[in-house]
Structure 1
Amino acid sequence: MVVSLNLQGYISEHARRMLGVRVHYHFLARLAQPGAVFDPNGSLFFVPVVMHAVTIQVLNATYRSIARQLTEFENHRTARAFDNSLVAKRFAFEAFDCYISLFYIAFELQDVPWLRAELISLFSTDTVRRVALETVVPFALQRVDAMRTRWRLDRAAAKKDDDAPPVAPLGAAASKARHARAARTPHGAAGELEGSGLADSALDEYDDFDDWLEMAIQFGYVTLFASAFPLGAALALGCNAVELASDLWKLCHVYRRPAAARRVPGIGVWQHLLYGMAVVAIFTNATLFGVASDQLASLMPHLFSNEADGRRAMLPGQGRYIVLVLVGLEHALLLAWLAAELLLSGPPKWVRLTLARREHEARRMRS
């Protein structure tokens, strides 16, 4: 995170230490100065962003096996408890990796334009990364492996025919017929294998864990910084459309056919994580609205003064009113969220009674 922010020019030499750790490194920050390699107005300005995204994925991939091993050491009694513990570990690590730089830009540097640019870069890079690593690369590797398998089978079949002893004319006719059937198959001897159900069983099994994790991380991008980047939801919708087409291709051509879908009462621990991020988003957006941006100053200019550098600062003695506004806004949003949760938490009582009666009648008829 520190290296990426220095290479992008976000950290100045006057930046204070974070938890006693120095965050500014001159030999890195000078690469983002005007005329340098990673000049924000140059042609290579996107390289640090791509490096940051790739580093995040490498760290997450490394921690993936560590988290699973740690969860196995815990010796959970049920598969659900195992999955919940694994989700908590991986989400905590990956959320820290993905959000720490954004929180630094938003609340330490308090630079909303940079935060917006970073969000756009992360959205775009992450979408390209997911399509490439989850669809293009596995499909290419699968095709290469299929070509190698086809070549080995055809070579083995040709060698077997060369080593076979002379046979009677009837056998020669049968061999000729067999070769004719093989020629009509898509790829000779290997085509018989590919045309059977064995081809599907040879594919990798589809696991939706990473897809759930990516959706949860994207939900955080959209909600935690919504006041700084309102178009994040629209950008996420476009990225999800690309991801939908990619996943459709992936399920049809890259991975083994999933088992039949089963009805479940909910999405499990993922729902608690989304609820938690929604609550945290209330506080982050209220802080961005009142402190890290000029949005509150535009609505209540009598509480702020214009500084020489173009920023707006709180007037002396007006801080308590600003805090009162932010606390009131935060409480209003929390109450609205709780009201929506209570009103939309489930079907009405009469619907539940009707469904219970139908289920009881169905059981009585079966018995």
Structure 2
Amino acid sequence: MSHKQENSEQIEISISEENGELSEKKTKFENLFNFFGHSNRSTTSLGDADDDIVEKLEIIKEKIEEHRTLLLINKKDQTLYKEINNWVYENPESNLEDTILKFNPEEYHNSDALAKVVFNYSSPDFIIRYKDNKDDDDLNRKQKKRENFEILLLRTGLILEHEIDTDGIYTYLKIIAPFDILCEVAREIKLKIRINKESLPDDLSILDQYYKSSKSKIFSQFTYKIDLKKQASLFNKDCLRNYEGAEPGKNIAEIALHFFNTSRRNLLVHRVIITAAQINKKITLQEGKAVYVKRKVESLEIKKLLNEGVYDEFYPIHDGPAKIKKDSIEKNNLRAQLNELWVKGSFRRQPIDKIREYFGEKMALYFAWLGFYTSWLSVASIAGIIVVIYGLIYAASGKFEKSSEKFSAIWDNALTAPYALIMAIWATCFLETWKRFNSSIQYDWDVMDYEKDELPRPEFYGTTLRTSLITLKKEIHFPYKKKLVKIIISIIIVLISIGIVIVTVVVLIKIPAQLQVFKNVKYVAPVITAIINLATIIILNLVYKNVARFLTNFENHKTETQFEDSLILKAYLFDFVNFYSALIYIMLNGDASCRDSCHDTACIEKCIEQSKGLTRLTIQLAIIFIGKQLIGQIQEILIPWLLNKWNSAKSADWDTLVKKYADSGRKNSEVPQWVEDDHLPASDESIMTEYEEMVIQFGFLALFGVAFPLAPLFAWINNITEIRSDAFKYIKALQRPVGHRAEDLGMWEKILTIISFIAVLTNAIIIAFHSIWMENQFKKYTDGDNNKLLVIKLGFVLAFEHFVFIIKLIFAYTIPDVSETVKIAIERERYLSRLVLEGDVPALDEYWSDNKDDSSIFSKGGSILLPRKFAKYKAQ
């Protein structure tokens, strides 16, 4: 089935397939069952489908080698494959590019993909792996499902090949996409490709000189872009040559092989695979009108097949080995280049453009943000170091009788309040400047309209039909009332989960203080509490993640961005309570836990004395903050490395595997890249985890950083390590992720903004109620009256947060989200688009003069005299 749009009216409707039959009838029990997210069926009847033409397709299997089998459903493709194979046999010196030139894809459909099969191309676009276990009672059912799913893939136009490993255990389904299929999907997802300068009209050639002479980053190169959907057909000789990568000097073989890089290819093929179970079917509406509808064969969705064990693995492959020769960087192996420039790059600047090219915009955006955030942490680190240095000098001044007050003075001194103000301004400036930087990235990476043009998730289902106000066609719809009910249920479950965490944290804080062994030992109870709390946080976090994902699936979001935003919000609400609740409890009621355990006045006074200052809060923050970062680094580096070793040990020793392939008698005696990648752990959802870790870190700094001014320094050191450890992880230790796109941080950006506002209040409370230095200043105006002291503290909180909020709003207003340079670039692009696509006449230069005498354009009789009108004005 091609991805080309049908000329007939389309109705998107999701109907499940049960036991090989498409069904529309539903019982009340099924409706209730569907409400809880277990089925993607529509409740709307579309009438009978008796007039639909159906056919049973058979897979054509063409033996290539003993271990390789080509799968086709089109006899023309089978004939073409044999022709290509014979030509290569008769011309043994020919290579892949020569073969594609001989069998031009514009004339021979699918010839570029079939040529790759003939040459046993080392970089298929996607891999699906399965294992046939003869002892499996469900083997026949699984084999039938695999056959049906492979038929669906073949109908989309993909070329499939089975390859069995040397042990005869695993079968790798190699998926290769013909170039024209990639172009169709690129139009469907509205991918943007830049137009090359040679295709522009001659009167616009002066633009080159302007861009080269401009000092602006945006105009440092020609940045004109056109949406592929604006062309009738990308795979057309005349249109194709307009795009970068398909310049007139390149032959069709170069274009078919390299026009889309491997990251783009795996993105486009991934889209085909996850939507392969959506089939077009002709049906008759109740009013007798025949239309084509999109139906979902639910039992053959790739995610369901993976869950059922029909397939084991589903992944794109790396470009090649990460190691390169000592004297050169491999030209076409971006993985090797990134290993050299990024993993081994020490403190070099991150190669963001290469990261984007290899991993896609979504991952590149994360690393761009992480680098930007880390650079801003250096500013906060300097401020924190200054506070601590001043505190050390202040503590050494000998003004303190008690060692506890001397220790607390290191970060509880005259610079504490100014530091809190600086951190509030720092958070605002960081977020506002990031928005500006992100707008530049959006423009340069062609993702400004990504969310607006985003297609529905394959998992999304509707329960009614409605007429689209945009297309005036029928479309599936999930009513807002039903969605609201699901969201309310989800909120209730989330609140219950959060309540469990709060109770757990309170118990963990109170129990150590009740134990007799800790009552007379200073700071032991806070340390034990913090350690136990950290362990509990990690355990609860693992449990809640599964709950959050189930609830988000249950809510039935239409696009992947909406799904991720909802999941992120749930995850962070839990993280907020999980990680910060103990600190908030101590901040609001710091001495209550130990005071409740006392039974006499002396004990209470001692307890209150020990709880004064920032020490208790600092200990809790330092242990949780530093401990979480250390555990995070261990998880990110050690666990993938151990999994890699474990997977390798389970299958075979690497040297043994190399020897097996060398002795196998196969034409390709080297270990294929997909077999190497099969030993690596999957990288699914890893980017969300990375963001989550950094946003939690930002929350610690913003909300409680005043209690531990060295926290930004530890965060900066952690993030410097994090960038390189993440680089190592994605380049060497994990399977390659799909090159997904993204235009911004989404929900993470909103969360960061909210945190920065909450932080103003938390810092004001910490300074007013926990700072001994600040309390001593307040006491100068109270004459020993505790009531006056409380009023002054509350007044300080109110004044501080109002003052800081005003400053934050001023900075937020004065730093625009989109720079003037990007605005000009966007307008320039729109202007050029009108010139090239709509045939507008170029704008004329405007003229201004101090001479206001218009007598020269009037005759003596008073008639107006105008310049001769030209048919076309040439641009200056």
User: TM-score normalised to the size of structure 2?
Assistant: 0.33
Distance (whole Å) between structure 1 residues aligned to residue 590 and residue 689 of structure 2 = 32
Would you say the 8 A contact 2:518–2:524 is kept in 1? no
Q: 2:648 aligned to 146, 151, 174, which one?
A: 146
Structure 1 residue 103 corresponds to structure 2 residue 103: no
How far did residue 216 of structure 1 move? 1.2
How far did residue 303 of structure 1 move? 2.9
CA deviation profile, 1:28-66 (whole Å, cap 9, x unmatched) = x2343457xxx8569xx9665443222211111111111
Amino acid aligned to 2:516 = R
Tell me which protein shows more strand as a share of its residues.
Answer: 2
SS of residue matched to 1:76: coil
How far did residue 319 of structure 1 move? 4.0
Shift of the 256–344 alpha-carbon distance from structure 1 to 2, 3 Å rule, reads same
Shift of the 198–365 alpha-carbon distance from structure 1 to 2, 3 Å rule, reads farther
SS of residue matched to 1:225: helix
**Percent identity between the aligned chains?**
22
Counterpart of 2:725? Answer: 246
SS of residue matched to 1:291: helix
Would you say the 8 A contact 1:297–1:303 is kept in 2? no
Would you say the 8 A contact 1:67–1:86 is kept in 2? yes
Structure 1 residue 75 corresponds to structure 2 residue 552: no
Shift of the 100–305 alpha-carbon distance from structure 1 to 2, 3 Å rule, reads farther
How far did residue 209 of structure 1 move? 0.7
The 4+ residue runs of structure 1 with deviation greater than 6 A are none
Would you say the 8 A contact 2:769–2:775 is kept in 1? no
Aligned length: 309
Would you say the 8 A contact 2:647–2:679 is kept in 1? no
Distance (whole Å) between structure 2 residues aligned to residue 353 and residue 212 of structure 1 = 28
Amino acid aligned to 1:139 = W
Amino acid aligned to 1:85 = S
CA deviation profile, 1:42-99 (whole Å, cap 9, x unmatched) = 9xx9665443222211111111111111111111222222111111111111210111
How far did residue 305 of structure 1 move? 6.5
Distance (whole Å) between structure 2 residues aligned to residue 229 and residue 178 of structure 1 = 59
Structure 1 residue 270 corresponds to structure 2 residue 741: no
Distance (whole Å) between structure 2 residues aligned to residue 270 and residue 151 of structure 1 = 42
Counterpart of 1:32? Answer: 518
Distance (whole Å) between structure 1 residues aligned to residue 553 and residue 524 of structure 2 = 49
Distance (whole Å) between structure 1 residues aligned to residue 665 and residue 773 of structure 2 = 74
How far did residue 285 of structure 1 move? 0.7
Shift of the 261–305 alpha-carbon distance from structure 1 to 2, 3 Å rule, reads farther
Would you say the 8 A contact 2:778–2:789 is kept in 1? no
Would you say the 8 A contact 2:530–2:624 is kept in 1? yes
Amino acid aligned to 1:358 = R
SS of residue matched to 2:633: helix
Amino acid aligned to 2:518 = A
How far did residue 278 of structure 1 move? 0.8
Q: 2:807 aligned to 332, 336, 342, which one?
A: 336
Q: 1:91 aligned to 572, 593, 597, which one?
A: 572
Distance (whole Å) between structure 2 residues aligned to residue 127 and residue 120 of structure 1 = 11
Would you say the 8 A contact 1:6–1:32 is kept in 2? no
Counterpart of 2:624? Answer: 122
Would you say the 8 A contact 1:106–1:288 is kept in 2? yes
User: TM-score normalised to the size of structure 1?
Assistant: 0.73
Counterpart of 1:326? Answer: 797
Would you say the 8 A contact 2:760–2:805 is kept in 1? yes
Distance (whole Å) between structure 2 residues aligned to residue 332 and residue 255 of structure 1 = 48
Shift of the 40–227 alpha-carbon distance from structure 1 to 2, 3 Å rule, reads closer
Amino acid aligned to 1:30 = Q
Shift of the 117–263 alpha-carbon distance from structure 1 to 2, 3 Å rule, reads same
Distance (whole Å) between structure 1 residues aligned to residue 553 and residue 662 of structure 2 = 52
How far did residue 260 of structure 1 move? 4.5
Counterpart of 2:107? Answer: none
Q: 1:281 aligned to 746, 759, 765, which one?
A: 759
Amino acid aligned to 2:804 = L
How far did residue 343 of structure 1 move? 1.1
Shift of the 128–31 alpha-carbon distance from structure 1 to 2, 3 Å rule, reads farther
Would you say the 8 A contact 2:702–2:759 is kept in 1? yes
Would you say the 8 A contact 1:71–1:85 is kept in 2? yes
Counterpart of 1:354? Answer: 824
Q: Higher relative contact order by CA 8 Å / sep ≥ 6: 1 or 2?
A: 2
Amino acid aligned to 2:817 = G
Distance (whole Å) between structure 2 residues aligned to residue 246 and residue 334 of structure 1 = 37
Shift of the 305–52 alpha-carbon distance from structure 1 to 2, 3 Å rule, reads farther
How far did residue 230 of structure 1 move? 1.9
Structure 1 residue 233 corresponds to structure 2 residue 735: no
Would you say the 8 A contact 1:297–1:304 is kept in 2? no
Gaps of 5+ in 2: 1-504, 592-610, 838-876
Residues 252-261 or 112-121, more deviating:
252-261
SS of residue matched to 2:693: helix
Would you say the 8 A contact 1:304–1:315 is kept in 2? yes
Q: CA RMSD in A?
A: 3.3
Shift of the 47–320 alpha-carbon distance from structure 1 to 2, 3 Å rule, reads closer
Distance (whole Å) between structure 2 residues aligned to residue 70 and residue 263 of structure 1 = 23
CA deviation profile, 1:343-362 (whole Å, cap 9, x unmatched) = 113235x4354213321244
Tell me which protein shows more helix as a share of its residues.
Answer: 1
Counterpart of 1:199? Answer: 676
How far did residue 262 of structure 1 move? 4.5
Residues 66-75 or 291-300, more deviating:
291-300
Q: 1:5 aligned to 496, 499, 509, which one?
A: 509
Counterpart of 1:299? Answer: 777
How far did residue 222 of structure 1 move? 0.6
Amino acid aligned to 1:303 = Y
Q: 1:217 aligned to 680, 690, 696, which one?
A: 696
Distance (whole Å) between structure 2 residues aligned to residue 300 and residue 48 of structure 1 = 31
